[in-house]
Amino acid sequence: MSSLQDRIDEFRRSGVEVYGLSVDTHFAAAAWAKELGITFPMLSDFNREGMTALGIMIDEFTGYRDVSHRAIIIVDRDRTVRYVDVAPIRELPDPDAALNAARALAHG
């Protein structure tokens, strides 16, 4: 999330609004965002409906069930998924690649 926050102005200039999605409660997500200085909205996916619909759920990881991959997903105004970067479990998705995708979509 911090890597997206660091580039938030560039994403917005590309016509992209950034949201965070976490399986934590909205209380925990808000506290985490405050601690990290995140200025974009953090959404709770506590019921795991979003990650299931987006296909980024991991059934089991080191004893935990129904956790989410880390991903950057760009959805257009028509709610069509236009870009997906799902990172290996111990890595982060590439904000530079997502920013390039956002710019390409904006100039489409």
In a domain, 62, yes or no: yes
CATH of the domain at 96: 3.40.30.10
Q: Cα separation of 70 and 73, whole Å?
A: 10
In a domain, 108, yes or no: no
Q: Cα separation of 54 and 101, whole Å?
A: 18
**And the tokens for 2?**
């911090």
pLDDT of amino acid 79: 81
Q: Which domain holds residue 78?
A: 2-103
With beta carbons less than 8 A apart as the criterion, state whether 24 and 47 touch: no
Q: Looking at the 3D structure of the chain, how many domains does it have?
A: 1
pTM for the model: 0.78
20-62 pLDDT, tens per residue?
Answer: 888 889 999 899 899 999 998 888 999 999 888 888 888 888 8
In a domain, 99, yes or no: yes
With beta carbons less than 8 A apart as the criterion, state whether 69 and 55 touch: no
In a domain, 88, yes or no: yes
